Amino acid sequence: MSEPTNHDAEAALDLAAVREELAAARGRHYWRSLEELARRPGFEAMLTRELPRQAAHLLDAVDRRQFLQLMGASLALAGVSACTRQPTELIMPYVKAPEEIVPGRPLFFATAMPLGGVGTGLLVESHMGRPTKVEGNPEHPSSRGATSAFAQASILGLYDPDRSQTVTSAGEIRTWDAFAAALEKALEPEQGKGGAGLRILTETISSPTLAAQLQALRTAYPQARWHQWDPVASDGARLGARMAFGEDADVQYQFAAADVVLALDADVLASGRDHVRHLRDFAGRRKPGPGMNRLYAVESTPTPTGARADHRLAVRGSDVEAIAWALAAALGAVPQAPEGAAAAHAAWVQAVAKDLGAHRGSGIVVAGDHQPPVVHALAHAMNAALGNAGKTVVYTDPVIAEPVATLASLRDLVADMDAGKVAVLLILGSNPVATAPVDLRFAERLEKVPFRAHLGLYEDETAEISHWHVPEAHYLESWSDVRAADGTVTIVQPLIAPLYDGRTAHEVIAVAAGKPQSPFDLVRAEWKPKAGADFERWWRTALHDGMIAGTALPPKTPALRTDWVGTALTEHAKIEEAKGLEVVFRLDAGVLDGRFANNGWLQEVPKPLTKLTWDNAALVSPATAKRLGVVSGDVVEIAVGDGAVDMPVWVLPGQPDESVTLNLGYGRRRAGRVGDGVGVDVTPIRTSAAAWIALGAGVRRTSTRYLLASTQEHDRMEGRHLIREATLAEYVHEPEFAQHVEHQPGDDMNLYPPYPYEGSAWGMTIDLATCVGCNACILACNAENNIPVVGKDQVSRGREMHWLRIDRYFEGEAESPTIHHQPVLCMQCEQAPCEVVCPVNATVHSSEGLNDMVYNRCVGTKYCSNNCPYKVRRFNFYKYQDWTTESLKLARNPDVTVRAYGVMEKCTYCVQRISQARIAARREDRPVRDGEVVTACAQACPADAIVFGDINDRESRVAKTKADARNYALLGELNTRPRTTYLASVRNPNPELEKA
């Protein structure tokens, strides 16, 4: 063994230092550094010291070569591990356990999920430090305890193994410090120019902290520009308010106070800004009887809102404006309508106008996000004319920090990039390469920017052509703040340390401003001055409550201007009768603009109207399909302007004729292993001039077919009384209308003696009058019950695993059908057909009336599923669960078994929640209180349509809903005695239109 020759060198060469040195080297440089290192004096000494056993081989001439190979590999691995910042890992139990952590008991933390610039208040369930389930924050105005489907699915997004995990530069792994240094260097020349070359592109942002940071940065660089691009934000609403009022204004719709609602191509109840609150308020007014509201929907494509409407009018997206004009004129909101506007629907328009007029101050006219500004302006004018403004339609300042029309903002940026004015571009949390309209040629122009950095959750299309990519921290890993739609601020607090090397926009801006700071400090610093004397107490309260009281924006009363009417009329006159087909672009109900493309839950959840999964399709009406000679699954070529895409067709009743709806967000190239290449990218035919409605499209049939995986192949009820519905008048005349439709066998019709349910007897009702089919319940069930994702192939074979599905039926003629939704989960039959036929007693009845599934006992005969009239049982035809991906293991609910191959599974009424409540109640020696057990679906439901509880408790909510005259059992005539029953749907049509 050679003696150390140089003591200084030996001191310099300790393993940690070597690793650090190697950490900065990449690729071939890494290997060269390794060689140099091995030649350095002191290397052998270090080896002897650090790795004595291996060093012995070094002395043997024969082993030496092999040894160096081994060393190379082990040091290489050391280098790899140094790429990601390894947190200090102390493996030891808590010596002093944190007071609040009890193993097996979850904790809940309040936070908020930002989407489209506005936040939804959440309570997040955390098991031993890992978030597993999202619930709405009951105190928060935009949630009131419910959530959207996207919020539910965000848990899976957090643990997505495909999220970007490290800072990269030109595809090579780098460190955050290297990025910070590079950014500082890139900004050096800007300092002299006042930041003339600095551009920042974000999504729409309401975070006060980030807004302040951006403001400060622009103070330092006065010439710098902040652009925003967000396909989720509504430019139409923004510009429409400016048109009507001459100033920016946000609208808060008070559906709780609205008797009559007119939605102009607006899916206000199931998508877009604040829809959770909208639906909750709307559903509160949907109880049959006096005071039941009425909803009119004019729609360019069927949506959940239209499905629930009392009168639904399917018109082309470009015709909505004419109807708005006609209505506004009829209501006296504008002096006149264009000649012949909406002549075909004159009776409809008159009746609606009359109804709205009869409910002055208690009506709402709402325009859709995708409609042009003039429709929004007309809606404002109508609300003003009807006296709704200030009552049901409340105006505030915008919650967005700097309100802009995002498309115009992006266009400005693109022009600057093209002109070479942009030297440094920071893209924070947006993916414009995939989402920008095609004519902006964003990718091509982005390449002209000398320094371009991207912060994002994924190494997506934008990251691909950026110089630097920084992984973004998920909102469940971040400190931040966000405003709800009414302005209420929530401090976004992390539930878990960043899984990967995630950073927030706060940190990037802080670095750009030359003052790197942690987001925690930044957010606190922002709020400290506003908090009053005892900041720590204020801070804890704010975090605990999940909202800062008193931060809602005050109502304002912008004055309606009239100067726009004349111009708009002239503009409208210019719209000639559009030739050819119309193409309507919509955000997707699952993947939105593509940002959720790698989320398996959202890919697999059936879209509310089409029940399609894993694809977008060209939605056409039956008549148009007939004219084109196509059926669902035929591929057509859709051409708009210079672009064309090949898309499979899906024939959708209720779609207006000669109009094709295309959903955005598909055909992603770099979404991740789940979302790559799923569906068709429609951006090649989406231009900035016609971003939402494109006229004059050409559709040509091709000879190819394409497999679309739908979870519901049959749309009609076949004369069966599955969904029972009456008009309000019929209901008032006979409230029990739903109970005499089918013969319900009596209680004595049983071979076995009745089982006395002492103690609790769990039951559920689902109100079909308020359910809109928004999918929040399905996603909540996915997260709560560890439901696996099976993929398109398995869905197309009828093997999806959702315990809860929403059946959708069309009734009436295909052009204007009545659309129904019906959530179906295990009915927990008291006389369950599945139980008798199981040969091994794997599905048995509990003393509380639950139909329990014993996975361990199941041998997989599938007989129970065959004999289930509701077909709610799901079978593990393969090993569907991902048992290997580490991050997904963290996402699972530890209270629920992860099912193995070959066993049957189904809805359990969230038995784990029942057990928890029962244990808690027994410890306190009391019965389980009403409301103590809420199933995941009931908890998430924005419409509060699902009520769960103990039917033995006469005072419970569910006992009362079961006593409702509308209560009926689905397939009750089979004498299955389901514990889940339905409250029949009631609609409130306008008698005047009924007659017509």
Partner 1 sequence: MSQPPSTQEHPGVIPRPPFIEPGHTFESVTDKIGAIVLEQGVRRGWLVGFTIAFSLLMVLLVALTNLIATGIGIWGINIPVGWGFDIINFVWWIGIGHAGTLISAILLLLRQQWRTSINRFAEAMTLFAVACAGLFPVAHLGRPWLAYWLFPYPNAMGMWPNFRSPLVWDVFAVSTYASVSLMFWFVGLIPDLATLRDRSPSRVGRCVYGLLAMGWRGSALHWHRYETAYLLLAGLSTPLVVSVHTIVSFDFAVSLIPGWHATIFPPYFVAGAIYAGFAMVLTLGIPLRWYYDLEDFITMRHLDNMARVMLATGLVVAYGYMMETFCAWYSASNYEEFMITNRFFGPYNKLYWSLIFCNVVAPQLLWFKRVRLNLGLLFLMSIIVSIGMWLERYIIIVVSLHRDFLPSSWGMYTGTVWDWATFIGTLGLFSSLLFLFIRFLPMISIFEMRTMVPEAKIDESAEAHH
Binding span for partner 1 by CB under 8 A among 139-147, 257-265, 467-475, 966-974 = 966-974
Is residue 755 a contact residue for partner 1 (CB under 8 A)? no
Select 344 or 859, whichever has its Cβ closest to partner 1: 859
Phi and psi of 57, rounded to 5°? -65, -25
Is residue 745 a contact residue for partner 1 (CB under 8 A)? no
Q: Which residue carries 């414009």 as its tokens? A: 432
How many residues form the binding site for partner 1 (CB under 8 A)? 54
Q: Are 488 and 142 in contact (CB under 8 A)?
A: yes
Chain residues 592-611 in contact with partner 1, contact rule CB under 8 A: none
Q: How far apart (Å, rounded) are the C-alpha atoms in residues 546 and 109?
A: 8
The correct pick among 544, 700, 879, 922 for binding partner 1 (CB under 8 A) is 879
The correct pick among 395, 527, 870, 909 for binding partner 1 (CB under 8 A) is 870
Q: How far apart (Å, rounded) are the C-alpha atoms in residues 498 and 588?
A: 29
Select 150 or 870, whichever has its Cβ closest to partner 1: 870
Task: State the nearest-atom distance from the C-beta of 138 to partner 1, in Å.
Answer: 33
List C-alpha distances in Å: 383 to 252, 348, 408: 12, 19, 27
Task: State the nearest-atom distance from the C-beta of 805 to partner 1, in Å.
Answer: 7
Binding span for partner 1 by CB under 8 A among 365-373, 409-417, 875-883, 909-917 = 875-883
Q: How far apart (Å, rounded) are the C-alpha atoms in residues 955 and 922?
A: 20
Q: Are 901 and 859 in contact (CB under 8 A)?
A: no
Q: Show the site string, 926-965: x = touches partner 1 by CB under 8 A, - = not.
A: ----------------------------------------
- Which two tokens mark 924? 């306190």
Binding span for partner 1 by CB under 8 A among 173-181, 589-597, 835-843, 917-925 = 835-843
The correct pick among 336, 847, 866, 885 for binding partner 1 (CB under 8 A) is 866
Task: State the nearest-atom distance from the C-beta of 905 to partner 1, in Å.
Answer: 11
DSSP 985: E
Q: How far apart (Å, rounded) are the C-alpha atoms in residues 174 and 165?
A: 11
Task: State the nearest-atom distance from the C-beta of 302 to partner 1, in Å.
Answer: 17
Task: State the nearest-atom distance from the C-beta of 549 to partner 1, in Å.
Answer: 45
Direct distance between the N- and C-terminal alpha carbons of the chain, in angstroms, rounded to an integer: 103
Q: Are 299 and 314 in contact (CB under 8 A)?
A: yes
Q: Are 57 and 48 in contact (CB under 8 A)?
A: no
List C-alpha distances in Å: 193 to 80, 115, 182, 457, 510: 40, 35, 18, 32, 20
Binding span for partner 1 by CB under 8 A among 28-36, 202-210, 579-587, 967-975 = 967-975
Chain residues 896-915 in contact with partner 1, contact rule CB under 8 A: 901-904
52-59 vs 61-81: helix axis angle to the nearest 10?
140
Is residue 567 a contact residue for partner 1 (CB under 8 A)? no
Is residue 738 a contact residue for partner 1 (CB under 8 A)? no
The correct pick among 104, 550, 719, 756 for binding partner 1 (CB under 8 A) is 719
The correct pick among 170, 574, 839, 995 for binding partner 1 (CB under 8 A) is 839
Binding span for partner 1 by CB under 8 A among 106-114, 315-323, 502-510, 831-839 = 831-839
The correct pick among 421, 974, 989, 993 for binding partner 1 (CB under 8 A) is 974
Q: Are 338 and 572 in contact (CB under 8 A)?
A: yes
Give Cα 514 distance to the centre of its chain.
35
Is residue 968 a contact residue for partner 1 (CB under 8 A)? no
Q: How far apart (Å, rounded) are the C-alpha atoms in residues 517 and 853?
A: 52
Q: Which residue carries 């002209």 as its tokens? A: 448
- Which two tokens mark 937? 């679906």
Residues constituting the chain: 996
Q: Show the site string, 774-813: x = touches partner 1 by CB under 8 A, - = not.
A: --------------------x--xxx-----x-xxx----
Is residue 576 a contact residue for partner 1 (CB under 8 A)? no
Who contacts 534 (Cβ-Cβ below 8 Å, separation ≥6)?
none
Is residue 857 a contact residue for partner 1 (CB under 8 A)? yes
Phi and psi of 712, rounded to 5°? -135, 110
Q: How far apart (Å, rounded) are the C-alpha atoms in residues 693 and 371?
A: 8
The correct pick among 861, 897, 912, 952 for binding partner 1 (CB under 8 A) is 861
Q: How far apart (Å, rounded) are the C-alpha atoms in residues 218 and 198?
A: 10
Q: Which residue carries 């030891």 as its tokens? A: 92
The correct pick among 696, 735, 869, 989 for binding partner 1 (CB under 8 A) is 869
Q: Which residue carries 């060393």 as its tokens? A: 71
Select 205 or 790, whichever has its Cβ closest to partner 1: 790
The correct pick among 700, 720, 733, 740 for binding partner 1 (CB under 8 A) is 720
Is residue 740 a contact residue for partner 1 (CB under 8 A)? no
Chain positions contacting partner 1, by CB under 8 A: 712-720, 722, 794, 797-799, 805, 807-809, 822, 824, 833, 836-841, 857-863, 865-867, 869-871, 873-879, 901-904, 970-971, 974
